[in-house]
Amino acid sequence: MDIFTIGELRKTFSNGEVKEEVLKGVNLTLKKGEITALVGSSGSGKSTLLTIAAGLQPASDGKILFDGHNLTSMTSEEMRSIRAKKFGFVFQFAHLVPFLTVEEQLDLMLDVSEVKMPKENRQQEIHYLLERVGLSHRKQAYPASLSGGEKQRVAIARAIIHKPQVLFADEPTASLDSKRSKEIMSLLRDLTKTLNITTLMVTHDEEMLSYVDHVVKMSDGLVV
């Protein structure tokens, strides 16, 4: 089932009188329960495409249709609400709050996403998800005591605790060694399938492509 459709998406950056078209009419469709990887050389437009699809910056032209909504015509407040409730984000670095425990990181995300859930149910959901990512024994740990792989597992759990429909991952394994990268990709694939999430990720690591359903190569602002 198609849940995300990108049509003729364009993005132009201006630097004084000089204009640079970074996206030149990109078309892309994403399905539920599948991982799509964007690959390409530096400057190909893959990270720009991901951030626009995620509503983190506006497009210059084109349409983004998500679950029956035209994201490109939404106000900034409407887009903020979609991001908080329907989207999850994982980046190259975990960006955990240093003074919060693993358990508290997830609890904070439930507050930010405005999920209405009784306290008892919140704790059950948090504990269940920490078990899924293999960190139930680290729930009271602070980020400083976590390994790089553990931090990224917390970041993934935090990104999906509010049950988003779409997960955006920008180089989620770039800061990890090969063994930890494979563990993280295996986890992302498992969660995408079992929770029926749509995952769009940017990666430069070809070893990670065996874990995804679709590979979209970009070059010079276009899908090739």
Which domain CATH number covers 183?
3.40.50.300
Considering the domain boundaries, does residue 214 fall inside one? yes
pLDDT value, residue 3? 87
pLDDT value, residue 193? 94
pLDDT value, residue 18? 81
Considering the domain boundaries, does residue 174 fall inside one? yes
Considering the domain boundaries, does residue 201 fall inside one? yes
Give φ, ψ of 203 to 5 degrees. Answer: -150, 150
pLDDT value, residue 43? 86
Q: Angle, nearest 10°, between helix axes 102-112 and 148-160?
A: 30
Which two tokens mark 50?
A: 């991901």
Domain membership of residue 53 as a residue range: 2-97+164-223
Tell me how far apart the alpha carbons of residues 58 and 48 are, in angstroms, rounded to a whole number.
10
pLDDT value, residue 61? 94
pLDDT value, residue 93? 82
pLDDT value, residue 102? 95
pLDDT value, residue 48? 94
Considering the domain boundaries, does residue 128 fall inside one? no
pTM above 0.75, yes or no: yes
pLDDT value, residue 199? 96
pLDDT along the chain (224 residues), means of 10: 90 84 94 95 92 93 91 91 91 90 92 77 89 92 94 92 93 88 91 94 91 95 91
Number of domains, the chain: 1
Q: What is the dihedral of CA 132, 151, 173, 109, to 10 degrees?
A: 70
Considering the domain boundaries, does residue 115 fall inside one? no
**What is residue 94's DSSP assignment?**
-
Considering the domain boundaries, does residue 31 fall inside one? yes
Cα angle 198, 76, 47 (rounded to 5 degrees) comes to 45
Considering the domain boundaries, does residue 145 fall inside one? no
Considering the domain boundaries, does residue 10 fall inside one? yes
Cα torsion angle, 110, 46, 196, 186, sign: negative
pLDDT value, residue 96? 93
